[in-house]
Structure 1
Amino acid sequence: MPTIQIDLPEEVLLALKETPEGLSQIIRMAAAAKLYELGKLSSGRAAQLAGISRVSFLQALGRYGVSSFDLTAEELIHDLHNA
């Protein structure tokens, strides 16, 4: 799995009262939510990026101001046929 490294000032961790691992999870979820919102990732791939299940990802989207029901009519019909 590829690794991306981000250098952050220590003050950011202190201000957020987070460990590096905790902040990593927050950043992964925020990135996944935004990429999903922009239509760059499906909910399944975004959940994979966030490191959580698809159901948990869809449930968490509201905390990021992202709707989980932003489907086009075509996507909704496709989902209904695959259900």
Structure 2
Amino acid sequence: MTQLCIELPEALPAVLHCSADELDRELRLAAAAQWYQYGRISQEWAAAIAGLDRTDFLLALARMGKDSFQVDFEDLDRELARD
């Protein structure tokens, strides 16, 4: 797995009232959610990046107030036109 090193202020975990491990998980989830929302990655990839299974990733999105499913309205129109 690829590892990245991000330099953050040393006091950040204290400011956010979390441990360094919790901050790591939050950053991974935030990145995965953002990339998923932009349609850059699938739910499967987003869940893997966040270190969650797909169900837990979808629940995390709901807690964050983000949409769980991405809809391409052009694709939806094509699917509906088939009927």
TM interval, short-chain normalised = 0.7 to 0.9
Structure 2 alignment gaps of length 5 or more: none
Aligned position for 1:47: 47
Aligned position for 2:69: 69
CA RMSD of aligned residues (A): 1.6
Give runs of ≥4 in structure 1 deviating > 4 Å.
none
Aligned position for 1:16: 16
Structure 1 alignment gaps of length 5 or more: 78-83
| 1:39-63 CA distance string (max 9 Å, x none) | 0110000000000001110111123
Q: How many residue pairs align between the two structures?
A: 76
Hey, what's the Cα distance between the residues in 1 that align with 2:59 and 2:65? 11
Task: Give 1:70 deviation, angstroms.
Answer: 2.3
Matched, 1:26 2:35: no
Q: Which has the higher helix share?
A: 1
Percent of pairs with identical residues: 37
Aligned position for 1:80: none
Q: Which deviates more from structure 2 when the two are superposed, residues 63-72 or residues 9-18?
A: 63-72
